[in-house]
């Protein structure tokens, strides 16, 4: 059910991108009104409402899709300044025990053993058929545990999958425990000026915190975990903060004397991640998709390939060698924007794939999309058509990310 909820929420966000004027949307219409009483609420729920956030159901949570400025302005603010996303709905957890590395590697394609302390990686939880249960960020800390962040819409099935494997490990006499962190908030501070804003509240030199590294430190006097990562393609951090102090930290960041900082909702988060070529679980990847089809083979660490010891390794490595029948690609088009589910056609008008995400790009001023297409038609520059409102729109397979990433690597 979690996956279904995520897909429904994603379709709501995608509907925003169907509008030519993406910044003008209203979730106050009857179509989007919902009884929020039965939804989960982040520590910032009251803050969002007071700030004029347009609250919508998302993956079982009441979340802001945008604020008064509108999605286009929020998107631009992230690309040019610094913004804050509330991502407290995502599941944070810790894995303890001397066999924690072996345990996580039994679930994912990551090389946890090979990670340096206080560094992390994007990885994939896989089922026995090679399908993607979820994508997640896994960090190896110097505090005797592994820190993970997984998607909100997958939290129920992720937890069930992890707990099931945990029982198998414990039955075999291995030492590992799983600790979901339900008393923590999570903020994503993103944008080219984000480090400047954050440095004002930290004694730690942020120039030493590079992409996909993590530390525990005080931020404006609040004990936090700061990880340099994000879902926008911009430089930025995710800050794990005690739930009781999430509002306080948000207000301190917003009152920055360094630059203007503003709030950002799910609508801009979706257009930002799409410009950056990042997958949305439930739309672009799911349990019917393998890492090779999704062009996520780079997440499979070299040591794991050599040992063939990750879930469905034989199937996935065979697919990597022989190439899959379909693969995820980027698409660029003009005119009416492609919608999720739209058919991709070859020049003869035959269906050769489908769109999984699409929207007008506020940065590039063209339509960007991603979808799955027959591998023989996946080369960059290939001309295709997309079925939009019963019309065929000219499109072209394009390199992703559409907007170059600006992660801070220290170089």
Numbered residues of the known binding site for substrate: 238
Backbone angle region of 349, left / alpha / beta, with phi > 0 → left and psi within -120 to 50 → alpha: left
CA pair distance 94, 401, nearest whole angstrom: 31
Q: Where are the beta strands (DSSP E) in 65-118?
A: 82-86, 91-96
For every residue of 318-384, DSSP letters joined together read: HHHHH--SEEEEEEEE-SSPP-TTPEEE-TTS-EEEEEEEEEE-TTTSSEEEEEEEEGGG-STT-EE
CA pair distance 202, 196, nearest whole angstrom: 10
Report the 10 Å Cβ neighbour count for 216: 15
Instruction: Give me the phi and psi of 398, to 5 degrees please.
Output: -130, 155
Asked whether the beta carbons of 284 and 295 are under 8 A apart, the reply is no
* Per-residue tokens: 32: 């989007």
Three-state SS at 64: strand
Question: H/E element holding 194?
Answer: helix 194-199
CA pair distance 376, 137, nearest whole angstrom: 32
* CB within 8 Å of 129: residues ≥ 6 apart: 287, 312, 315
Three-state SS at 233: coil
Q: Which residues are annotated as a binding site?
A: 238
* Per-residue tokens: 393: 């729109």
Report the 10 Å Cβ neighbour count for 347: 12
Q: Order of strands, edge to edge, in the sheet holding 236-242?
A: 214-219, 222-227, 236-242, 184-190, 82-86, 261-264
Alpha carbon separation from 17 to 173, 222, 371, 372, 387 (Å, rounded): 51, 37, 15, 19, 16
* Per-residue tokens: 30: 């009857």
């Amino acid at each position: 059910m979690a996956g279904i909820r995520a897909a429904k929420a994603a379709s709501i966000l995608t509907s925003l991108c169907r509008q030519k004027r993406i910044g003008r949307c209203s979730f106050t219409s009857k179509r989007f009104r919902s009884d929020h009483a039965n939804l989960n609420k982040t520590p910032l729920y009251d803050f969002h409402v007071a700030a004029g956030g347009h609250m919508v159901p998302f993956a079982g949570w009441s979340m802001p899709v945008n604020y008064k400025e509108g999605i286009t302005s929020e998107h631009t603010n992230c690309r040019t300044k610094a913004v804050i996303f509330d991502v407290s709905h995502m599941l944070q957890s810790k894995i303890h025990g001397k066999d924690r590395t072996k345990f996580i590697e039994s679930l994912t394609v990551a090389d946890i053993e090979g990670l340096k302390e206080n560094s992390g990686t994007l990885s994939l939880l896989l089922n026995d058929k090679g399908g993607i249960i979820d994508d997640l960020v896994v960090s190896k800390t110097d505090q005797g545990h592994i820190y993970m962040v997984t998607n909100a819409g997958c939290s129920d099935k992720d937890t069930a999958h992890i707990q099931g494997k945990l029982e198998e490990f414990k039955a075999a006499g291995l030492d590992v425990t799983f600790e979901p962190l339900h008393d923590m908030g999570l903020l994503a501070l993103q944008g080219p000026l984000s480090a400047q804003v954050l440095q004002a509240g930290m004694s730690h030199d942020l120039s030493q915190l590079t992409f996909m590294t993590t530390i525990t430190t005080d931020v404006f006097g609040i004990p936090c975990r700061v990880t340099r990562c994000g879902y926008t393609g911009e430089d930025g951090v995710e800050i794990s903060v005690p739930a009781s102090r999430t509002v306080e930290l948000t207000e301190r960041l917003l009152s920055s004397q360094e630059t203007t900082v503003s709030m950002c909702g799910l609508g801009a988060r979706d257009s930002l991640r799409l410009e950056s070529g990042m997958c949305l679980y439930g739309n672009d990847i799911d349990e019917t998709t393998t890492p090779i089809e999704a062009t996520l083979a780079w997440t499979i660490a070299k040591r794991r390939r050599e040992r063939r010891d990750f879930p469905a390794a034989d199937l996935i490595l065979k697919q990597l060698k022989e190439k899959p029948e379909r693969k995820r690609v980027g698409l660029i088009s003009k005119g009416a924007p492609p919608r999720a589910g739209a058919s991709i056609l070859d020049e003869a008008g035959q269906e050769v794939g489908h769109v999984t995400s699409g929207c007008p790009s506020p940065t590039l001023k063209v339509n960007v999309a991603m979808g799955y297409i027959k591998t023989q038609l996946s080369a960059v520059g290939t001309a295709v058509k997309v079925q939009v409102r019963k019309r065929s729109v000219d499109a072209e397979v394009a390199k992703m990310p559409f907007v170059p990433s600006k992660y801070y690597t220290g170089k």
